[in-house]
A and B are shown apart, each in its own frame.
Chain A
């Protein structure tokens, strides 16, 4: 389990542990910053278009003169953006359309329910940590800046934009203050059982003493990615390697490679699960060296 926490998944994200109120540790995947940025870009695009349409409607209904357009747009975008993020993250349990497209979700970092306060806090802080400084930089003459104000703003921009890079959970300031984090939305696929009821090959205990859990799970990955009928030189090669390692005298016919590996997997797993049950957990093939006290 300890190793699982440190493993980086090939799909990208790193794993973190979240303890539920029932006391069961669950593993959540921290998405990459790229995924976060794309999700945000989608949401930002949607809200900007919505604010722009509202502005057109407002001008059409003569609420706003043509001259006041820029100011009113900033105002409408602010309203639309905040209403959008808060409403979706509350209504859809931590998911906005952009996050849904990428497969992200906001959760309470300590395993509780996501509260309305936390959602509002993390979104309001987004306003403070991103848009206001951005607005100041983009239109600095209209923001009436005293020269010395630029220094803290620049420092702030640097700090907040670097914050998600500086912590392993990729928290931005809003997550820190709201007590939330963004995770990859879990997908559940129950893959089929690899252990068949009818087996062709049998193995002696001595043959099963050679490998540990790590090798077993590598073999599991290989089997799940292969299929029984296509001829696969890789399977033949692995089968031959295992046959030699466990000192099995009879050769394995190339067309039997898959069945051999599957039956070996079943026998090895049964054996290692029994050893684990008896208090002898064999992490990998070097278990014997570790068990012996070094002199």
Chain B
């Protein structure tokens, strides 16, 4: 049966491959160059050819799916088109512009868009502070210990005298090294609560509110402890110098968490995954900005609080930071919005 080999005219899908193959290999070489040396390494002609070759590969894929039964060919075109697509839609090269735009426009604007959630979280925090204060003023021994975890309270408690609080806390000396101090304050209990409030938003938002209220209650208990010993203003300065920034960050985390919870319970799109994909990034942006605020708070707490010892100056910084943050969230990025 061997021997007689006949010339057979190539059929449609074979001819198709022969005609297009060259352009596929060209595209493959371009993609490889973009992958290793970046899109900036392409010459003017190559830049012009890239979109044409990309489209040609996509059309080849569609044609191959329609006419060819060669599985290897379709798999090749499928992955070629995908690689070309990924090279084509790579992240923009403008890397410095992104953080600048984020701070100047995106972050304040996203916070404004979530203002209802922010208001709810703020209300939860204030409710917590008031409740903590009222409860502790009723029975300090019982409620201070119930509301404030032992590790957070340290040596402070119902047994502390006015002098102990003044020396051990309000007028404590500058820490030995700034980096460790900032690290400790960034990773303090409050930060953890803030991040938890955001992450737990995924559980329908209830824990986000609970944690915010609870955090407010612990703070309220501390306020009562100091007010009772005539240190109200001193404590306001001591906590406010970084607390304004930190608590605001906590509120933003909780607001972002609430938004996630809202998407989970009332998905705006046909599926929860789609709703998250569409609106989740906005909530995440708020959280990203709030992490930046926590870093600012860490610097204020770890360094400035001890460097600035006068209560008046501390209160001034606290007030200034409140005004600055309010103005930032109220006005930054408004012009670009229109």
Write out the residue numbers on chain B whose beta carbons fall within 8 Å of the beta carbon of A129.
199
Question: Could you list some 7 contacts between A and B, CB below 8 A?
Answer: A26-B81, A71-B180, A75-B182, A93-B91, A110-B277, A144-B149, A160-B199
Residue of B nearest to A89 (CB): B91
Which one, A33-41, A189-197, A227-235, A284-292, is touching chain B?
A189-197
Once the chains bind, are A74 and B280 in contact (CB under 8 Å)?
A: no
Residue of B nearest to A250 (CB): B1
Give the Cβ gap from B68 to chain A, nearest Cβ, in Å: 7
Once the chains bind, are A65 and B177 in contact (CB under 8 Å)?
A: yes
B44-85 with Cβ < 8 A to chain A: 55, 58, 61-62, 65, 67-73, 76, 78-83, 85
Once the chains bind, are B196 and A144 in contact (CB under 8 Å)?
A: no
Once the chains bind, are A177 and B69 in contact (CB under 8 Å)?
A: no
**Assuming the A-B contacts A24-B61, A75-B187, A272-B69, are A178 and B90 also in contact, with contact meaning beta carbons closer than 8 angstroms in the complex?**
no
Once the chains bind, are B72 and A179 in contact (CB under 8 Å)?
A: no
Q: Is A64 an interface residue (CB 8 A)?
A: yes
Once the chains bind, are B86 and A93 in contact (CB under 8 Å)?
A: yes
Bound together, the chains give a CA A63 to CA B303 distance in angstroms of 13
Give the Cβ gap from B99 to chain A, nearest Cβ, in Å: 8
**Assuming the A-B contacts A72-B183, A121-B281, A188-B83, are A156 and B69 also in contact, with contact meaning beta carbons closer than 8 angstroms in the complex?**
no
Q: Is B119 an interface residue (CB 8 A)?
A: no
Bound together, the chains give a CA A130 to CA B70 distance in angstroms of 45
Q: Is A270 an interface residue (CB 8 A)?
A: yes
Once the chains bind, are B89 and A113 in contact (CB under 8 Å)?
A: yes
Q: A: which residues have CB within 8 A of B?
A: 1, 18, 20-22, 24, 26-28, 58, 62-65, 67-68, 71-72, 74-76, 78, 90-91, 93-94, 105, 107-121, 124-125, 127-129, 132, 135-136, 141-146, 149, 152-153, 155-156, 159-160, 167, 171, 173, 176-179, 186-191, 193-195, 197-202, 213, 216-217, 220-221, 224, 250, 252-253, 256, 259, 266, 269-270, 272-274, 276-277
Bound together, the chains give a CA A116 to CA B107 distance in angstroms of 13
Q: Is B138 an interface residue (CB 8 A)?
A: no
**Assuming the A-B contacts A71-B187, A75-B187, A132-B196, are A178 and B284 also in contact, with contact meaning beta carbons closer than 8 angstroms in the complex?**
yes
Task: Give which listed residue, B177, B273, B285, contacts A117 with CB less than 8 A.
Answer: B285
Task: Give which listed residue, B8, B12, B277, contacts A273 with CB less than 8 A.
Answer: B12
**Assuming the A-B contacts A28-B82, A193-B17, are A116 and B1 also in contact, with contact meaning beta carbons closer than 8 angstroms in the complex?**
no
Which one, B200-208, B236-244, B304-312, B322-330, is touching chain A?
B200-208
Write out the residue numbers on chain B whose beta carbons fall within 8 Å of the beta carbon of A253.
1-2
Residue of A nearest to B152 (CB): A144
Q: Is B335 an interface residue (CB 8 A)?
A: no
Once the chains bind, are A27 and B176 in contact (CB under 8 Å)?
A: no
Bound together, the chains give a CA A273 to CA B67 distance in angstroms of 6
Once the chains bind, are A20 and B58 in contact (CB under 8 Å)?
A: yes
Once the chains bind, are B285 and A198 in contact (CB under 8 Å)?
A: no
Write out the residue numbers on chain A whose beta carbons fall within 8 Å of the beta carbon of B62.
24
B266-298 with Cβ < 8 A to chain A: 273, 276-278, 280-281, 283-285, 287-288, 291
Give the Cβ gap from B149 to chain A, nearest Cβ, in Å: 4
Residue of A nearest to B32 (CB): A188
Interface of B is mostly: helix
Once the chains bind, are A22 and B1 in contact (CB under 8 Å)?
A: no
Once the chains bind, are B28 and A176 in contact (CB under 8 Å)?
A: no
Q: Is B5 an interface residue (CB 8 A)?
A: yes
Q: Is B221 an interface residue (CB 8 A)?
A: no
Interface size on B, residues (CB 8 A): 88
Once the chains bind, are B14 and A193 in contact (CB under 8 Å)?
A: yes
Residue of B nearest to A62 (CB): B177
Write out the residue numbers on chain A whose beta carbons fall within 8 Å of the beta carbon of B177.
62-65, 68
Write out the residue numbers on chain A whose beta carbons fall within 8 Å of the beta carbon of B25.
190
Once the chains bind, are A72 and B76 in contact (CB under 8 Å)?
A: no
**Assuming the A-B contacts A26-B82, A200-B2, are A136 and B192 also in contact, with contact meaning beta carbons closer than 8 angstroms in the complex?**
yes
Task: Give which listed residue, A189, A213, A224, contacts B69 with CB less than 8 A.
Answer: A213
Once the chains bind, are B98 and A116 in contact (CB under 8 Å)?
A: yes
Give the Cβ gap from B244 to chain A, nearest Cβ, in Å: 22
Give the Cβ gap from B336 to chain A, nearest Cβ, in Å: 16
Given contacts A26-B85, A124-B287, A176-B277, 20 further A-B contacts (CB under 8 A): A22-B55, A24-B58, A28-B82, A62-B177, A78-B187, A93-B86, A113-B90, A113-B91, A117-B98, A125-B199, A128-B198, A135-B187, A144-B152, A152-B203, A186-B86, A187-B79, A188-B83, A191-B73, A220-B70, A273-B67
Q: Is B40 an interface residue (CB 8 A)?
A: no
Give the Cβ gap from A28 to chain B, nearest Cβ, in Å: 6
Residue of B nearest to A267 (CB): B8
Give the Cβ gap from B315 to chain A, nearest Cβ, in Å: 27
Write out the residue numbers on chain A whose beta carbons fall within 8 Å of the beta carbon of B58.
20, 22, 24
Once the chains bind, are B82 and A179 in contact (CB under 8 Å)?
A: no
Give the Cβ gap from A260 to chain B, nearest Cβ, in Å: 8
**Assuming the A-B contacts A64-B180, A124-B288, A156-B200, are A273 and B68 also in contact, with contact meaning beta carbons closer than 8 angstroms in the complex?**
yes
Write out the residue numbers on chain A whose beta carbons fall within 8 Å of the beta carbon of B186.
75, 78
Give the Cβ gap from A31 to chain B, nearest Cβ, in Å: 14
Task: Give which listed residue, B6, B149, B189, B284, contacts A199 with CB less than 8 A.
Answer: B6
Once the chains bind, are B86 and A105 in contact (CB under 8 Å)?
A: yes
Bound together, the chains give a CA A201 to CA B71 distance in angstroms of 23
Q: B139-171 vs A: 1/0 string, CB under 8 Å? A: 000000000011110000000000000000000
Write out the residue numbers on chain A whose beta carbons fall within 8 Å of the beta carbon of B13.
269, 273
Q: B1-20 vs A: 1/0 string, CB under 8 Å? A: 11111111011111001000
